[in-house]
Amino acid sequence: AQSVTQLGSHVSVSEGALVLLRCNYSSSVPPYLFWYVQYPNQGLQLLLKYTSAATLVKGINGFEAEFKKSETSFHLTKPSAHMSDAAEYFCAVSEGFNQAGTALIFGKGTTLSVSS
């Protein structure tokens, strides 16, 4: 069964500092992996996705994530945090379209706070 673990429910950084949000997954087949962002009072917006092509994936707003099969990880990074990055971030895994259910399994989320 698939699962996602996000380490740290809350991460605080200073503006301009490195952002690192951790995600580990469990999947019985090669996974598709996603990071979503949720700004206050809004729905979820896709930041980036891994679909078995390049292991380093670049997304919107300067974020990127690296798929490491040996570590079963898909950590999200951004070199320099901006105040507008303050939001909740969700890592999710899917085993692909043809699997029964093919649900997105979400982690519990990490709230990112950015201070000036």
Partner 1 sequence: EAQVTQNPRYLITVTGKKLTVTCSQNMNHEYMSWYRQDPGLGLRQIYYSMNVEVTDKGDVPEGYKVSRKEKRNFPLILESPSPNQTSLYFCASRGGRVGEQYFGPGTRLTVT
Which of these segments, 17-25, 66-74, 75-83, 95-103, binds partner 1 (CB under 8 A)? 95-103
Tell me which residue of 10, 8, 57 sits closest to 35, measured CA to CA: 57
State both tokens at 57. Answer: 């994936």
42 forms part of the interface with partner 1 (CB under 8 A): yes
Which residues, including other chains, have CB under 8 Å from residue 66's CB and lie 6 or more apart? 55, 56, 57, 73, 74, 75, 77
Matching residue, tokens 């507008």: 84
Nearer Cβ to partner 1, position 53 or 116? 53
Residues in a beta bridge with 19? 78
58 forms part of the interface with partner 1 (CB under 8 A): no
Which of these segments, 18-26, 60-68, 69-77, 106-114, binds partner 1 (CB under 8 A)? 106-114
Q: Which residues would be at the binding site for partner 1 (CB under 8 A)?
A: 9, 32, 34, 36, 42-46, 49, 51, 90, 94-98, 101-104, 106-109
